[in-house]
Amino acid sequence: MDKKLFQFPKDFVWGAATASYQIEGGWNEDGKGESIWDRFSHTPGKVQDGDTGDAACDHYHRWADDLNLMKELDLKAYRLSISWPRILPAGRGGVNETGIDFYSRMIDRLLELNIEPYITLYHWDLPQKLQDEGGWASRSVVDAFVEYTDAISNALGDRVKNWITLNEPWVSAFIGYREGRHAPGHTDMHEALAASHHLLLAHGLSVPVIRRNSPNANVGITLNLSPQVPASPSVADRVQATWADGYINRWFLDPLVGRGYPQDMVNDYRDEMEFVKTGDMDVMSVPVDFIGVNYYTRNIARSEKISEAENAPCTVIRGDEITEMDWEVYPEGLYKTLGRLYFDYDFPAIYVTENGAAFVDEVGADGEVDDPARLSYIKRHLEQVHRAVEAGIPVKGYFAWSLMDNFEWGFGYSKRFGLIHVNYETQKRTFKSSAKWYRQAIQRNAVD
């Protein structure tokens, strides 16, 4: 039987993504300030095996070679993030020209190679100096973000035409300030709520600044989204799923499109929301050109309020294909998420700004890295993207996470997400079989 060929639209954007702290290293070089992740990873017990991003993939020194690898992969686009403390070491006031220069040279080279840069302004490496005044929980950080946005979009806006203000503000706010598994490692729900609000405010105030400095740019924001499915038809599980959807998805989606914070969540948080000021909700619903979605898995919601015995029989069984992150492989959730963004929220364009999987990779005796599980993961998710495009959903591009293995936050270097294998002892890069497959997909503009 002939295999089905999933052909993508002509202008579909094929890319890969990284983030500054996860790959750059050079943590204290050339005038860079300390970030909250430098501080967090240098604190014993915070990151698995005591790993830090001090050297990471040494991309700060090897960026030119890494760009050549991107070309070899035939990437059409590269999503990178800027390290805020490399640009403004103290978070505000006093630009570090060496930092600007680093990114400026990289952008020039990307354009020379015909690789379109997509810049994320904030992928979690807040300058520590701003954390010292309260971090995202403090409203004063919002102005500092706008100042930073102005500095970097002014420097690069003539050449960079795709901007993402924030990466996964839910993670910044709730994993950083409520669960404490990420920097700054706090465990305070009120701080987390305030942080989420200030992040969205910072986004809203930055969009017009980018538009002013970068005429004709596409500006958007990236959220981590996942379907929240009740484990059973019991009322308790359904309530739990609705709550989880409000907590992770709607808390960010609704204000972005001008619906305000979801009322069911506000009912829970009302007493803690004094940080919302008149006009804030208008600011954060500034129109965007696109929404970015980072999709990895779904969540099956089960209420803890009732016992296993009392609960209705489980109707949703977690699939048995699980990644190293303990995340279920559930490609259809990507289709559902894309559909929701278009049909329920009406975003004019959508990019999958991250999708990928961590699996154990080994370099074989022949020096090759064969990673069929990752290849299959990416292929099946791309099929769902194709399905969405066919359904009329305006999905404009797909960025694999990640270009190369890197520092996976609290897990250090123990989880590998890369298309390119990195030997952290030697910094040798090796294309995995998924990378070779991805190159072929890019070249054919199709998946089969």
Q: At a CB cut-off of 8 Å and minimum separation 6, what does 405 contact? A: 57, 361, 413, 416, 417, 418, 420, 421, 422
Among 408, 431, 432, 447, binds ligand IFM (CB under 6 A): 408
Task: Please report how close the Cβ of residue 158 comes to ligand IFM at its closest, in angstroms.
Answer: 28
Task: Please report how close the Cβ of residue 354 comes to ligand IFM at its closest, in angstroms.
Answer: 5
Determine, following the binding rule CB under 6 A, whether residue 147 of this chain makes contact with ligand IFM. no
Tell me whether residue 148 or residue 417 sits nearer to ligand IFM (CB atom). Answer: 417
Please report the sign of the dihedral spanned by the C-alpha atoms of residue 283, residue 287, residue 292, residue 295.
Answer: positive
Among 34, 66, 280, 354, binds ligand IFM (CB under 6 A): 354
Which residues in 189-218 contact ligand IFM (CB under 6 A)? none
Angular region, 295: left φ>0, alpha ψ -120 to 50, beta rest = beta
Tell me whether residue 240 or residue 323 sits nearer to ligand IFM (CB atom). Answer: 323
305 touches 235 (CB < 8 A): no
Determine, following the binding rule CB under 6 A, whether residue 294 of this chain makes contact with ligand IFM. yes
Rg (alpha carbons) of the chain, rounded to whole number: 21
Q: In angstroms, what CA-CA distances link 324 with 43, 374, 436?
A: 25, 11, 22
Of 24, 34, 147, 354, which is the active-site residue? 354
Tell me whether residue 103 or residue 407 sits nearer to ligand IFM (CB atom). Answer: 407
Of 24, 168, 383, 408, which is the active-site residue? 168
User: Binders of ligand IFM: how many residues, by CB under 6 A?
Assistant: 8
Q: At a CB cut-off of 8 Å and minimum separation 6, what does 390 contact? A: none
Determine, following the binding rule CB under 6 A, whether residue 401 of this chain makes contact with ligand IFM. yes
Tell me whether residue 235 or residue 360 sits nearer to ligand IFM (CB atom). Answer: 360
DSSP state letters, 278-346: TTHHHHHT---SEEEEE----EEE--SSS-TTTSPPP--PPPS-B-TTS-B--THHHHHHHHIIIIIT-
Determine, following the binding rule CB under 6 A, whether residue 125 of this chain makes contact with ligand IFM. no
Give the Cα separation of 239 and 307 in Å (integer): 15
Among 51, 168, 191, 328, binds ligand IFM (CB under 6 A): 168
Tell me whether residue 6 or residue 296 sits nearer to ligand IFM (CB atom). Answer: 296
In the three-class reduction of DSSP (H, G, I as helix; E, B as strand; rest coil), residue 185 is classed as: coil
- Angle separating helix axes 59-72 and 97-112, nearest 10 degrees: 10
Task: Please report how close the Cβ of residue 152 comes to ligand IFM at its closest, in angstroms.
Answer: 19
Of 293, 284, 247, which is closest to residue 267 (Cα–Cα)?
Answer: 247
Among 19, 110, 403, 442, binds ligand IFM (CB under 6 A): 19
Active site residue 362: no
Tell me whether residue 52 or residue 303 sits nearer to ligand IFM (CB atom). Answer: 52
Active site residue 304: no
Element (H, E) at 398: strand 395-401
Task: Please report how close the Cβ of residue 378 comes to ligand IFM at its closest, in angstroms.
Answer: 14
Q: CA torsion, points 238, 241, 242, 246, in degrees to nearest 10?
A: 170
Task: Please report how close the Cβ of residue 390 comes to ligand IFM at its closest, in angstroms.
Answer: 27
Task: Please report how close the Cβ of residue 401 comes to ligand IFM at its closest, in angstroms.
Answer: 6
Of 54, 290, 255, which is closest to residue 170 (Cα–Cα)?
Answer: 255
Determine, following the binding rule CB under 6 A, whether residue 115 of this chain makes contact with ligand IFM. no
- Give catalytic residue positions: 168, 354
Residues in contact with ligand IFM by the rule CB under 6 A: 19, 22, 168, 294, 354, 401, 408, 417
